[in-house]
Every structure is written in structure tokens, then in C-alpha cells.
A and B are shown apart, each in its own frame.
Chain A
Amino acid sequence: MPDGWVGRSVPRREGRDKVTGAAKYVDDLHVEGMLHGATVRSTIPRGKIVAIHYEGDLPWDEIVVATAADVPGANEVKLIQTDQPLLADGVVNHVEEPIVLLAHADREVVEKARRHVRIEYAPLPSVHSIDDALAADTVVWGTDNVFTHYTAGQGNVDAVWADAPHELSGEYTTGAQEQMYIEAQGMIAEYDPDAGVTVRGSLQCPYYIQTALCPLFGLPPDKVRIVQMATGGGFGGKEEYPSIIAGHAALLAYKSGKPVKIVYDRIEDVTATTKRHPSRTKIRSAFDDTGKLLALDIDFVIDGGAYITLSPVVLSRGTIHAAGPYRCDNVRVDSRAVATSSPPHGAFRGFGAPQSIFALERHMDRIADYLGLDPVQVRRRNLLQQGQTSSVGQTIDEPVDLDKLVDRALADADWVAKRKAFDEHNASTTGPIRKGIGLSVFYHGSGFTGAGEVHLASKAVVEATAEGRLRVLAASTEIGQGTNTIFSQIVGDAAHVPIDRIDVVQPDTAHVPNSGPTVASRTCMVVGNLLAQATADVVGQLQGAGHLPATWDAEQFTAACRAWYADHDALVGRANYQPPAGVHWDEKNFRGDAYSAYAWACYVAAVTVDTRTAEIRVDDFVAIQEIGKTVNPILAGGQIEGGVAQAIGWAVYEDVVWKDGRVANPQMTNYIIPTAVDTPPIRVAFLEPFAPQPVAKGIGELPMDGPAPAVLNAVAHATGVDPRGVPLMPETLMDLLTTQETAQ
């Protein structure tokens, strides 16, 4: 048992409230005089709005109606760019685009009214695939449908092909994925001419919403207050989209003068809000007889949907992770985010990395197959070592030992014995059952890419009260991942006080400093570190005033606070983000230190395939990772297990069915996420930290990266077919099996 709080599995601080139902979510909140809002959305993927008709036997005189013309400021959702309107104005660019907002005191009346607003359109041609977007026969954005184009890499791939002993190419695809958090999105907004706009709701990033709402209303930040309610999951889905719901609710509140609640049901949430970007990756590789990589030429494209939103940043992370944790002297990654007529795709756990990692890790297995080598051997031949540089030229400073990571995963998964036994079974069986085992090796960068953390310039505050309690002030949100708990552990250790004397303040832009968004696996590593510094600042002030000795206990800390308040009104510790020394990132050329830390992992999946039905069952899953310092082992293990389950869903269950740019399966009955019965035992272990003085690396996204290729590699091992895309549905696998049977 460690001395302090960090490293111990202390229970979730808000856990009791959540399991007893005491926690208040936005839909639990009723504000006196409140109206219910609803959103009328486009039913066609692209076209001009010709007319809007308000029909049916409804009390239209009682219903508040808002359109683009009612936006008091600029009709734009400010993010990286401002191409997305809050409400469509004259033209729609995707299905489910918001056009008209309605509000009424009766939730059922407003819902019925929503169905009686008829929009007349003059349709325009639309684009529904990456290939069509690239072909640009129909241009839906800019001049060529390309939001962003990056080129990254090192060496010269073109000089390698002529003399390369072996070459292998392949094309890989990944589908959209719904975050499927338990709580659908929702907001309550109020407007007061003096106080401005106040919005409370389900969200990950309070300051993103403030930034988006200021130009909509022409208000300064101190007149736009955002408060996070208890939030039932996010997974990135509540990163950028909540700005739109907040803007809608606030606009209705502004127009009606009354509080307005908008809460989506599951169908609206799934059809209208963001999904994981679909992707297509082409890899051309050169290697020698041993599998040593000589060149990787990667063409990576993601589908951003109708507006640019976060696609450039998603593309950036996907680009940097595309060559994996391997040493290769000649790498070119050419990547594009393209526009289609889908609702914008957005942030989702992994943020572009799972897409490019899937392609590479499937390709590594194909190289092994091509050479007749073991897939482990091919990877070992290429694993990055300390002092080597990654494909973007980042020198790996920490003493990584990826062989040890792989060894542990193989041992836990009983790889050698199972691989042999499955090979024998598959070769000899006359029955329908095939078995396979597959792996993936990968890394995930913690925090914002490159200079992102410098630009964020995050701040955090820790206040001490006269009673010796500590108040944690940060904009980082608890969304089920354990923020409140790990913050308490980190601050508790820095102040040497029990964690029940620590209060994590509800994120509210009126009270907490901007510690940055709750994204990018950055909360523990970046903000946790700021809170440790802010606590040290409190301690330093107490010591400077002579109230606290060099070593102290909790009672001495309380006494020191009491003494401080005898002649002070407040005790505030502050910390501002300072970049680590010697870190440089060249954004233009995609070269340098992309991330200040990486978490490393090797995952192994064992599967059964029933060839009668092509159903895939994941029987066993081993997830081994090195994450530096583990703050709370149970919470960390839970993050990994949940991420693995979500990624197994992406790999073999979750098929977003598109029909003319609209999700055709937006309910939990037809959008299939794995249940407990479909999820294997997930055996999680954290390797002893590589570094002697480890940091707490981010882990939220890591487990999303590795399972899909491990599962598909296992299916390939089981059946001998060569699946290239996720989700690998039984329908696709059955076609592959049938083709294989015919070929034999």
C-alpha cells in the first residue's frame, strides 16, 4: 500500500450519489416558469430552404418560434472555424441540420408542433462517401471538399521501392461509431438582460461553450455563464456538440424571456449529434525478409461530414499515430479530412488514432502472413527503443521496453500455446467452429498535440479554508471517468490531508478557472499536475508565513490554515501551465515533440468464429499497458475495460447504417452495442513504469486504439480470410468465407 492517496483505489467521490439516484442530471432540474424546447431539423441532405410552414391544429400563438433571423449576434458555432451556423439560414448541408426552434410550457405540445413544421426545399446534389468527396464531382465545401491536408513523415519513401526486397499494399476502412453515453444530451438556459446568459447541462468543456455563445449573443465572457450538471458519460460526444444545444436553448430563452430546457431523446441524439469519423487508409510498405520496415507510405482520409468542426485536430492525431510505435526511416503520411453531406463527425475517444492504428496493425499482420512469419516476430523487429525517433521525429527519451510489454501480454494470453492449438484445431476440424488469436501493439500520446497545451495556457486553483478544507477549482469535468476522485487524491497528497477534507467544486465558469477542455486524455496528467502545483503554492504560502513546518501532518495543516485566516481573507494557490523544457513542435512540417508523454500497450484477443453463421465471439482479452504512475488502480482498470468493450463494439457490432446521409438505426434496439454477455473477460494489467520518476500518463483513449485490429487479426487467424474493415459484421465475414470456399 502506497503512503499517500495516489496509487490507492479510493472509492469514487460522487459514486454514492450516482448509485442512490441523488445526483442531479439536467433533466432532473425544473426551473419555475420553464419552457420545453424542440428542434426542427432538415429531412434532406442538401438543398435550399424555400419556405417554412407552421401547420396542424396547434396553439401556434403560444409557441415560441426562433430561426436564424432571431440570432442577436453572429449565426455561427465558433470552434476552429465558423462555417457551421447555429441555425440553417437559407440552405441546409446535412440531414438533421437545425432550422427552426420551438418552445412551449407543455413538452408534448412542443413535440407535436415540431412534427407540424413543414420545410419546403429545392434539393441540391449531395456527397455520401469518402470516394465521392475526393472525386469532387459534387463540391459541398470549399473548392474541392477538402477541409484539411497534412503531410508528415521522414526520409524518402520513393527512393526505397526500386530496391526493396518485398512490397505489400492494402486498403483499410473504419466505420462511424456512436458514443452511446447513457445520458442523452440536454441543456437548460436562462437569459437576463443584466446578467446575460446562463446555461446548465450535460457537457465536457464549459469554456468551449462560453467561447461559442459569446459571438452568438454579442456578449463578453463574464455575461455567459456555463455550469456542468452531473453528466452521464461523454466519450467526446459532449465535447463540441453541447455548444449547439446550449446556443439553441439560450436563443429560445432570449426570445421568450423564460428559462428553456432542451433534452434530446435517444433518436434525436443518435441521428443529430456527432459520431466517430469514418476513415479509409491506403498503406504501401516495403520490408526485408525479416519483416524490418523499410518504408511506409500511408494515405489516410477521414470523413468530416458537412462542417469542419474538430476534423483538423482529429486528422492531426490520426496522422501522428499512423506509423505506430515502430522505427521506420522512410515514412510518408499524406492525410486529408474531407467534407460529405453527413452531420459533422466529431470527437470520440481516440480522436483519429484508432482509425489509422487499425489500418497499420492489420497491415503488420498481413506483412507477417506474406513472409510466413509470426506476427509477434514482425512487430518485435520494428519496435521503437529508447533514443530512437518516431515517424514525426520525436526522440523517445524514456527507457521504453516494448519487448517486455509484449512478453507480458503474450504470457498472460498464453499466446504460444493457444496459437499452436488453434492452428491444429483449424487444420484438422470438420466442424463449423474456428478459433484464432491476434494482437496489436500501439501507443497513444497524452494531452493536446504539439503546442496545443501551450496555446490552452490552462490554469487551476486550490483554495484553503479556515477549517483546513481544500477546494479544488478547475473546469475539468467528471463524466464518469473519475476526475473528482483522482483530483482529490493528487491534492490530498500534496497537502498531506485526508481526501474527505477536499471539495471538488462544480465546474461553473463563474467560479472556476479555465483548466482547459476535458478531452485528449489530459485531465489526470496536465490538470492533475497543475493542481499539485496549486496545492504546493498553498503550502508554500503557509510555510512562508511561518504557520507550517517543513514536514507536517493533517492536523498541523488545519492549524496553519486557522492561523493564516487570523490576518487574511483568503488562501489561494494558483498554477499556470508551463511547457516542459526542451520541447519543440513544428506544426507546419509535422515534426518534433508531438506529445509530452505516450502510454504504450499490447493487446491480445482470442476469438471463436462459427462458420455456419459467421458470428464472431471474443472469448478472451488481455490488455497490458504502461501508463507511468497509476493514480487509482480500480478507476484506471475500469477505464481500460470500458474502452476495450467500446472498441470491441466498434470492431464487430456497431454498424451505423446510413440511408441518404441519415442514421437509419438510431435506437438502442437497432444500434447494437455489446452487452455483458457479448463482452469477454478483460484482463487488465499495468506494467511497472518505464521511467524512474514516472508521470501519470493519460489513459482515457488508449484502450480504444488496440482492440479492433487485435480482434480482426484473430478472426484472420481463425478463418484464413483477410478482413480489411470495421465493423466486421457477420454479413461481410460470411461473404469472405463464401468467396474463400468457392476459391478452394
Chain B
Amino acid sequence: MRGYLPDYELRAPASVDEALETMAQAPGQWRPLAGGTDVMVELAAGKLPPGKFLSIWQLPELRGITLDDDHAILGALTTYSDVRDHAGMAAEYPMLVQAARESGAIAIQNRGTLGGNIVNASPAADSPPALLAYGAQIELASVRGRRWVDYRGFHTGYKQMGRQPDELLTRIRMPRTPGGAGALHDYRKVGTRKAQAISKVCLAALGRLDDGKVAYLRAGVGSVAPVPLDLVKTEAALLGKTLDAATIDAAVAVAEAEVTPIDDIRSTARYRAVVSRNLVRDFLTALAAGETGARVHD
């Protein structure tokens, strides 16, 4: 343990309102602490800057998964285990379930939360690509009120977000039957090993063909940019097109131009670029071949 505990202040509010009040009094000073799966690792390694932490783990209002007619709504404290255990998630959001299954060990899945995964803002996080592909929105709350914003576009730069200093991420929602009936869901995490790994490249892609033409397409990629990346240009290049070999080649070229990977201790920019290209091609080839439902990668 390299962190020096007296250098840290921890407060545990009794309600979301109290949490928001605390954040309003000193905007930007309090860092919300949920499952702690990132913060505790930094603390032990002596890399956590001294500061104030607002524990929200004990707030039941931020838990739970509900499905209404239009949306699946998940509390910010929804853990990976909650996602894995929820039958409705498996039926409609298999890529999110897959992301949850591939995040850390069981103990981490019991503590790690979707809200934390979003605001920790690691480009290598496992759930953001799936949330991007599913067209998620997130709810940001402050004493000034609550607002829903598109998750797409929320990350504006490395560890930069469209969250005001007094705002707390409280809920996440995704449209029901994402991509429409007959869509292909393809989540593939390429990690440093098969389990308990951080991704080198992670693709979540959702697409549907109508009459052989691309009727729906959304894709998120992890670990290839300063932010969890939306492949907006690739999507635009494909919508309405027939998926023949030339179209796929062109789309793969667009995707390759969209990613801006770097070298780090896990992998190289070159590898990430090649794998991004290959995964996009692989997804489009499967889509063109008429595959639907959740793709299974061994």
C-alpha cells in the first residue's frame, strides 16, 4: 500500500440529494467513488492524487435495472454482475453482457459499475463501446436539475467529459430492441489474455440489413483513440449501401482512418490499427453473410 491515507478525505452522503448538495458547495472538488475498482488500484500503487472522495456506493437510488416500453434504464451503480445476472440484458443487449463478462475477475465484476466505467473515462474500458453501439443516453444530475444527454459525444478528449463539475452521473438508458429485429450484435475484446485482461482493441458493432442494404449501423471501439470512439464516418459510409466486397473494402479504409491508436505498455499503434481494420471487416463480412443475433467469439 503506497497511498498515505491521512492525505485523503472521504465522505459518505445518505442520499443523492445530499451528494448533489455536497458537490454544489465545492464544484469539482469531490470525486465520486463508486465500486472503487480503479481508485483503489491507484491508491495502492501510490498514484492517486490526494483529495476528496464522495462515496456513493451506499445509495440504493442509484441501483437497479428496469425495462419500460422505450428503454432499459440502469442505475449508475449497476455492477457488471448485475448486468450478467439480468435476463432482459442478455436478450436485448448481449454486447453489454459480454462486456460485463470480460471485465476483470468476479470480485471486480461485483464492485465495478457502469457509471464508474463511463466517468473514469478510460479509452480501454470494456462497456463504453457497447453503450455507444446501443445508442445509450446518460442522466446527469445536480442541484440545478437533471438532464439526459447522448452518450455519443460525451467524451470530448482524454479523460475529458461533458459533465459539469457539480454533476453526478445517475442513470443510463438504452432504446429497446436496439438495431431493430434481426440485427447482428458483434462484441469482440482483444485483450492481453483470455480473462482478467485490459483490452488492446475492443469493437462493439450493431448492424441490420434490409433487402440487402445497410439499414442500421452503430459501432464503438475501445483502446484506439483518446476516448471510447464512435465510428461515425464508417457508419455514414455504409448506411443505405449494399454490402459487396468493394463497399466493405471502402468502409474498412474509412474505419482505419477514424482510429488514432498509440503505442503503450499493452500494445502498439500499428497492431491496433490492423486489428481494428480486421475486426470491422470481420463484422461486415458476417453482416453481409446474413448473420443475425449475438455473434459468439471463442
State in angstroms the CA–CA spacing of A614 and B271 once bound together. Answer: 9
A678 and B271 contacting across the interface, CB-CB below 8 Å = no
- Which single residue of chain A is at the shortest CB-CB distance from B7? A112
Which residues in B have their C-beta under 8 angstroms from that of A617?
A: 194
Q: Scoring A residues 604 to 621 as 1 if CB is less than 8 Å from chain B, else 0, what string do you get? A: 000000001111010000
Q: How far is the CB of A363 from chain B (nearest CB, A)?
A: 27
Q: Which of A367-375, A473-481, A729-737 contacts B (4 or more CB under 8 A)?
A: A729-737
Which residues in A have their C-beta under 8 angstroms from that of B196?
A: 675
B270 and A731 contacting across the interface, CB-CB below 8 Å = yes
The verdict on A386 contacting chain B, using a C-beta distance below 8 Å, is no
State in angstroms the CA–CA spacing of A734 and B201 once bound together. Answer: 14
B282 and A667 contacting across the interface, CB-CB below 8 Å = no
A111 and B2 contacting across the interface, CB-CB below 8 Å = yes
A267 and B45 contacting across the interface, CB-CB below 8 Å = yes
A612 and B279 contacting across the interface, CB-CB below 8 Å = yes
Q: How far is the CB of B204 from chain A (nearest CB, A)?
A: 16
B265 and A738 contacting across the interface, CB-CB below 8 Å = no
Q: With A115-B46, A669-B198, A670-B266 in contact, do A653 and B193 touch (Cβ < 8 Å)?
A: yes
State in angstroms the CA–CA spacing of A726 and B6 once bound together. Answer: 45
A-side interface size class: 20 to 34
The verdict on B91 contacting chain A, using a C-beta distance below 8 Å, is no
A738 and B274 contacting across the interface, CB-CB below 8 Å = yes
The verdict on A154 contacting chain B, using a C-beta distance below 8 Å, is no
- Which single residue of chain A is at the shortest CB-CB distance from B192? A672
Q: Scoring A residues 97 to 132 as 1 if CB is less than 8 Å from chain B, else 0, what string do you get? A: 000000000011101100100000000000000000
State in angstroms the CA–CA spacing of A667 and B40 once bound together. Answer: 14
B4 and A615 contacting across the interface, CB-CB below 8 Å = no
Q: With A612-B275, A613-B278, A730-B271 in contact, do A672 and B4 touch (Cβ < 8 Å)?
A: no
Q: How far is the CB of B276 from chain A (nearest CB, A)?
A: 10
The verdict on A211 contacting chain B, using a C-beta distance below 8 Å, is no
Q: Scoring B residues 271 to 286 as 1 if CB is less than 8 Å from chain A, else 0, what string do you get? A: 1001100110010000
Which residues in A have their C-beta under 8 angstroms from that of B192?
A: 653, 670, 672
A678 and B274 contacting across the interface, CB-CB below 8 Å = no
B282 and A432 contacting across the interface, CB-CB below 8 Å = yes
B265 and A657 contacting across the interface, CB-CB below 8 Å = yes
Cross-interface CB contact of A675 among B6, B194, B200, B265, cutoff 8 Å: B194
Which residues in B have their C-beta under 8 angstroms from that of A613?
A: 190, 201, 275, 278-279
A678 and B194 contacting across the interface, CB-CB below 8 Å = yes
The verdict on A222 contacting chain B, using a C-beta distance below 8 Å, is no
State in angstroms the CA–CA spacing of A678 and B192 once bound together. Answer: 10
B278 and A612 contacting across the interface, CB-CB below 8 Å = yes
Which residues in B have their C-beta under 8 angstroms from that of A664?
A: 265
- Which single residue of chain A is at the shortest CB-CB distance from B196? A675
B265 and A677 contacting across the interface, CB-CB below 8 Å = no
Q: With A731-B270, A738-B274 in contact, do A675 and B1 touch (Cβ < 8 Å)?
A: no
The verdict on A592 contacting chain B, using a C-beta distance below 8 Å, is no
The verdict on A665 contacting chain B, using a C-beta distance below 8 Å, is yes
The verdict on A288 contacting chain B, using a C-beta distance below 8 Å, is no
State in angstroms the CA–CA spacing of A738 and B194 once bound together. Answer: 23
State in angstroms the CA–CA spacing of A664 and B2 once bound together. Answer: 17
The verdict on B15 contacting chain A, using a C-beta distance below 8 Å, is no
A667 and B45 contacting across the interface, CB-CB below 8 Å = yes
The verdict on A265 contacting chain B, using a C-beta distance below 8 Å, is yes
Cross-interface CB contact of B1 among A265, A674, A738, cutoff 8 Å: A265
Which residues in B have their C-beta under 8 angstroms from that of A108?
A: 1, 4-6
Which residues in B have their C-beta under 8 angstroms from that of A109?
A: 4
Q: How far is the CB of A432 from chain B (nearest CB, A)?
A: 7
Cross-interface CB contact of A734 among B6, B198, B271, cutoff 8 Å: B271
A112 and B190 contacting across the interface, CB-CB below 8 Å = no
Q: With A111-B1, A111-B2, A675-B194 in contact, do A669 and B270 touch (Cβ < 8 Å)?
A: no
Complex interface residues of chain B between 248 and 286 (CB less than 8 A to chain A) = 265-268, 270-271, 274-275, 278-279, 282
Which residues in A have their C-beta under 8 angstroms from that of B198?
A: 669-670
Which residues in A have their C-beta under 8 angstroms from that of B14?
A: none
Which residues in A have their C-beta under 8 angstroms from that of B271?
A: 614, 730-731, 734
State in angstroms the CA–CA spacing of A109 and B1 once bound together. Answer: 11
Which residues in B have their C-beta under 8 angstroms from that of A734?
A: 270-271, 274-275
- Which single residue of chain A is at the shortest CB-CB distance from B279? A612
State in angstroms the CA–CA spacing of A657 and B198 once bound together. Answer: 16
Which residues in A have their C-beta under 8 angstroms from that of B275?
A: 612-614, 734
Which residues in A have their C-beta under 8 angstroms from that of B236?
A: none
Which residues in B have their C-beta under 8 angstroms from that of A674?
A: 193
Which residues in A have their C-beta under 8 angstroms from that of B46?
A: 111, 115
Which residues in B have their C-beta under 8 angstroms from that of A657?
A: 265
The verdict on B41 contacting chain A, using a C-beta distance below 8 Å, is yes
Q: How far is the CB of A740 from chain B (nearest CB, A)?
A: 13
Which residues in B have their C-beta under 8 angstroms from that of A265?
A: 1-2, 44
State in angstroms the CA–CA spacing of A112 and B279 once bound together. Answer: 46
Complex interface residues of chain B between 189 and 212 (CB less than 8 A to chain A) = 190, 192-198, 200-201
- Which single residue of chain A is at the shortest CB-CB distance from B274? A734
Q: How far is the CB of B5 from chain A (nearest CB, A)?
A: 6
Q: With A265-B2, A657-B265 in contact, do A672 and B193 touch (Cβ < 8 Å)?
A: yes
Which residues in B have their C-beta under 8 angstroms from that of A112?
A: 4
- Which single residue of chain A is at the shortest CB-CB distance from B297? A610
State in angstroms the CA–CA spacing of A613 and B201 once bound together. Answer: 9
**Can you list 23 contacts pairing A with B, beta carbon distance less than 8 Å?**
A107-B1, A111-B46, A115-B2, A265-B1, A265-B2, A265-B44, A612-B275, A613-B278, A617-B194, A653-B193, A657-B265, A664-B265, A670-B192, A670-B266, A674-B193, A675-B196, A677-B193, A677-B194, A677-B195, A730-B200, A730-B267, A734-B271, A734-B275
List the 8 closest A-B pairs by CB distance, nearest first.
A612-B278, A677-B194, A731-B271, A677-B195, A112-B4, A672-B192, A665-B265, A678-B193
Q: A267-B2, A653-B192, A675-B193 are in contact. List 8 more A-B contacts (CB 8 A).
A: A111-B2, A432-B278, A615-B190, A670-B198, A675-B194, A678-B194, A734-B274, A738-B274
Spell out B's residues near A (CB within 8 Å): 1-2, 4-6, 41, 44-46, 190, 192-198, 200-201, 265-268, 270-271, 274-275, 278-279, 282
